[in-house]
């Protein structure tokens, strides 16, 4: 069994989650996948075959959503070579094996289409479309009917009181669909404070809430750290749930 393990939090917990449902009597090739743009990224650390005796081979690869497939790096070249060598047919068994691992990796790393439905509860002056555009550049996001969607992105411009605006926006959500709530603050202040309620405490189907800043005098979103963080949060959530 080849186990592809993207490292998204702590290496140990990610490997444990990947190995959790693997039969103990099956031989494993563990591919630890590090999300980085640095071709010289250090992958030194635990030898996982000491923790999991059924691991026959472990390799490290580097990837990033801004690069199709794998990074061009000596580490990835070495990983492909070691796997090709390991998986070559053995004379005594003539067992069919994988040969074109470069293509195999590329297929695995192609972005998965993510179907979402969107609801916009008020005037955004195009900020909702710009946010979607930024997310689409990093994911395979497709807007579709809510019955075909993985979850619903609710764009909620704050025009009066936050609580009443959120309530009005959430009332538009059909069914019990999971929701990503985008609270949109109308301001020109790039340092505007958005601290306040955690909306998942009030609405159990809200799996993530993010805050963005916009103003009609600025096309789309303000250029600020808060909006950059919101895009990053959305991309992470979509990647984890796709």
pLDDT at 9 over 80: no
Name residue 221's beta-bridge partners.
214
Average pLDDT over residues 218-240: 90
Q: How many residues appear in the chain?
A: 242
Q: What is the pLDDT of residues 203-217, one digit of tens each?
A: 999 999 999 999 999
User: Which segments of the chain belong to CATH 3.40.50.360?
Assistant: 113-241
- In order, the DSSP letters of 215-238 are -TTSSSB-SSHHHHHHHHHHHHHH
| pTM for the full predicted model | 0.57
Q: What is the pLDDT of residues 38-47, one digit of tens each?
A: 888 888 888 9
- Residue 205 to residue 25: CA distance in whole angstroms: 40
What is the CATH T-level fold of the domain 113-241, as seen in this structure?
A: Rossmann fold (3.40.50)
Note the maximum CA span of the chain.
75
- Residue 86 to residue 98: CA distance in whole angstroms: 10
Contacts of 163 (CB under 8 A, 6+ apart): 197
Name residue 180's beta-bridge partners.
153, 208
Confidence of residue 22 (pLDDT cuts 50, 70, 90): confident
Instruction: Name the CA radius of gyration of the chain, rounded.
Output: 22
Q: What is the pLDDT of residues 99-145, one digit of tens each?
A: 445 545 544 544 567 889 999 999 999 999 999 999 988 888 889 99
Average pLDDT over residues 147-170: 92
pLDDT at 99: 44
């Amino acid at each position: 069994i080849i186990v592809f393990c993207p490292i998204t939090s702590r290496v140990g917990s990610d490997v444990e989650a990947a190995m959790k449902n693997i039969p103990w009597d099956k031989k494993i090739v563990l591919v630890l996948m590090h999300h980085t743009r640095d071709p010289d990224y250090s992958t030194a650390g635990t030898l996982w075959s000491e923790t999991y005796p059924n691991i026959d081979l472990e390799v490290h690869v580097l990837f990033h959503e801004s690069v199709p497939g794998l990074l061009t790096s000596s580490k990835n070249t070495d990983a492909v070579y070691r796997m090709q060598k390991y998986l070559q047919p053995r004379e005594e068994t003539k067992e069919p094996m994988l040969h074109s691992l470069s293509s195999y990796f590329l297929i695995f790393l192609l972005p998965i289409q993510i179907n979402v439905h969107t609801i916009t509860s008020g005037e955004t002056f195009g900020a909702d479309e710009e946010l979607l555009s930024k997310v689409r550049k990093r994911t395979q996001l497709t807007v579709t009917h809510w019955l075909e969607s993985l979850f619903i992105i609710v764009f909620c411009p704050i025009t009066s009181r936050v609580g009443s605006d959120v309530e009005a926006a959430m009332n538009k959500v059909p069914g019990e669909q999971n929701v990503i709530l985008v609270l949109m603050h109308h301001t020109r202040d790039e340092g505007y404070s958005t601290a306040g309620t955690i909306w998942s405490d009030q609405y159990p189907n809200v799996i993530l809430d993010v805050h963005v800043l916009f103003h009609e005098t600025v096309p789309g979103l303000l250029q600020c750290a808060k909006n950059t963080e919101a895009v990053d949060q959305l991309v992470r959530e979509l990647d984890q749930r796709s």
